[in-house]
Amino acid sequence: MKIQQFEDKGLAHFGYAILSENTGEVVLIDPARNPQPYYDFAKAHNARITGVIETHPHADFVSSHLEIHQQTEATIYTHSLVGADYPHQVFDEGAVLQLGNIKLKSLHTPGHSPDSISIVLEHKGKDKAVFTGDTLFIGDVGRPDLRENAGNITAKREELARQMYKSSREKLMKLADEVVIYPAHGSGSLCGKALSDANSSTIGAEKTGNYALQPMSEDAFVKILTEEQPFIPKYFRYDVSLNKQGAPNYKASIANVKRLGKNFKPEADALIVDARNEKQFKQSHYKGAINIQNGGKFETWLGSIVGPEEPFYLVAENDTQLDDLISKTAKIGYELLIKGAFILDSEATYTLPDFDVNAFREQLANYTIVDVRNTSEVKAGNFFDQAINIPLPELRERASEIPTSKPVVIHCAGGYRSAAGSSIVAAALPATKVYDLSEAVTDFKNVQH
């Protein structure tokens, strides 16, 4: 037997392949959008993929389950409550999938979603591991507030939190302490609020160290689980629907993205996502462009700022970056929204002004300061007492709330989000000077007025 974990650092996602060496079969759990690494794994072990298990319709990434079924004839297994639109076999509580000496057993563990299942791996008669999807993480449990308006069955967060209380205590915590936990996400995922950097744990270790598994009443659990969850990106509901339906072929869908000529000029008022570095963007960009820089979390911020109903143009600085960006957009299913992708390397009409940080430091009162960090970050501590807090995912909708009597300075915690924020506000308030504090923000921790 072999268990292989596949990590996507950008989305903090873990997919899995389980190999039965004596039967030459592979079963996948929660595979990522690009199926090639799973095909490579099966080929390297002279095995064939016979099954794909979806623990639930994921909100934060697009799975390749349908494509893998179409390419390999592997059976897709998922809970009946998903109401899956793709060919599948129901894998409800008590169902068992056997691979030689391996048994994969379904536990219905609602809480993150009504249709969540966890998969217990039994080998030679003993439970060895459990694949918990988004139900149980290392150091946390799945957030209960993503399915109030998404999926085949919706549920209020309080109701799902109560289900999570029972799932964690009556199902998962009943497993032996030595059973290894393999979650679908790690630190950096927005599917929970306190995920660990570790990529696996054990039931015993989580009973000791996971705040959500400590002794407490159901009401206390509901309160602690529903408070101070991170923001919900705009794309989450879209991905639940796309995963319920089954996404199109990864390579074919990427190939369908229109590659436009260098320095293509979009139509007036088009939505443009410019992923070049902030210095290039500030020097020249097209009117109204949003500067979401290519980086480790590009796809998360793209799906947080741009809604799934908004077609957009994608801008890069070279062909290599453009290929990378299109692949990243596909991880959340947004390649279907790209009207066209192109390289911009000549001077465009619009610029953002250089910022005199020293003048700002000496006369803070002469500026309107906008903090685009999340609400929970602001509660933990301000950089500027007089700052207005509008979280970046809400900024396009709320930019009109910003006073325009003074120049506006945008800041976040480290500089990445403020680049996007300043581009959004500059486009929304064209008659106002808008500055990006960028990385200099780290010199201003807890500045008083």
Q: Do the domain assignments include residue 433?
A: yes
Same domain, 86 and 200: yes
Distances from the Cα of 302 to the Cα of 151, 263, 333, 420, angstroms: 22, 22, 11, 10
Domain match, 58 and 174 both: yes
CA quadruple 11, 202, 144, 216: dihedral sign: negative
> 304 is in which domain, residue-wise?
248-343
Q: What percent of the chain is modeled with pLDDT above 70?
A: 95
Specify the 3-state DSSP secondary structure of 98.
strand
pLDDT beyond 60 at 422:
yes
Strand, coil or helix: what is 77?
strand
**70 is a domain residue:** yes
Average pLDDT over residues 128-143: 96
pLDDT of residue 151: 54
Give the closest residue to 406 by CA, choosing from 355, 360, 367, 370. 367
Is 351 domain-assigned? no
Alpha carbon dihedral 192, 61, 145, 92, in 10-degree steps, equals -100
pLDDT of residue 142: 94
392 φ/ψ angles, rounded to the nearest 5 degrees? -50, -45
Same domain, 66 and 201: yes
Shared-domain flag, residues 34 and 117: yes
Query: Under DSSP, is residue 409 helix (H, G, I), strand (E, B) or coil?
Result: strand
Query: Among 59-68, 76-85, 340-349, 427-436, which is the least confidently predicted range?
Result: 340-349
Residues 85, 290: Cα–Cα separation, whole Å:
35
Point out which residues pair with 8 in neighbouring strands.
13
Same-domain check for residues 361 and 334? no
Question: What pLDDT, on the 0 to 100 scale, is given for residue 376?
Answer: 84
In the block, tokens 């990243």 appear at: 328
Q: Above 80 in pLDDT, residue 307?
A: yes
Domain boundary (208, 238, 268) is at 238
pLDDT for the residue numbered 160: 94
Element (H, E) at 370: strand 368-371
Residue type, 138: I
Residue for token digits 């979390």? 297
Pairing of strands 117-123, 312-316: unpaired
Q: Are residues 150 and 280 in the same domain?
A: no
Domain end, chosen from 310, 343, 376, is at 343
**Residue 215 and residue 92 in one domain:** yes
Under the banding of pLDDT at 50, 70 and 90, the label for residue 380 is confident
Taking residue 54's Cβ as centre, other Cβ atoms within 10 Å add up to 28
What pLDDT does residue 449 have? 42
Mean of pLDDT over the chain: 94
pLDDT at 191: 61
Q: How far apart are CA 97 and CA 109, in angstroms?
A: 18
The 10 Å Cβ neighbour count of residue 385 is 11
Say whether both 51 and 195 belong to one domain.
yes
Give me the mean pLDDT over the 341-369 stretch: 92
Q: Is the pLDDT of residue 447 over 70?
A: no
Structure tokens given for 185: 């996400």
| Residue-wise pLDDT tens digits, 382-409 | 899 899 999 999 999 999 999 999 999 9
Which of 285, 320, 343 marks a domain boundary? 343
Is there a domain that residue 335 lies in? Answer: yes
Domain CATH for 192: 3.60.15.10
Indicate the range of 86-100, 185-199, 229-243, 291-305 predicted with least confidence. Answer: 185-199
The tens digit of pLDDT for each residue in 313-348 reads: 999 999 999 999 999 999 999 999 999 999 998 878
Q: Is residue 243 part of a domain?
A: no
Average pLDDT over residues 48-68: 97
Token pair listed for 176: 């032996």
pLDDT at 31 over 60: yes
Q: What CATH number is given to the structural domain containing 377?
A: 3.40.250.10
Specify if 350 maps to a domain: no
Same-domain check for residues 96 and 234: yes
Task: Band the pLDDT of 220: cuts 50, 70, 90.
Answer: very high
Total count of domains within the chain: 3
Q: Are residues 190 and 166 in the same domain?
A: yes
Same domain, 36 and 138: yes
pLDDT over 90, % of the chain: 86
296 to each of 127, 190, 194, 421, how far by Cα in Å?
A: 36, 14, 19, 18
Residue 387 lies in a domain: yes
348, part of any domain: no
pLDDT value, residue 221? 96
Q: Using CA atoms in the order 36, 38, 40, 46, what is the torsion angle rounded to 10 degrees?
A: -150
Average pLDDT value for residue range 77-90: 97
Regarding whether 192 and 288 lie in a shared domain, the answer is no
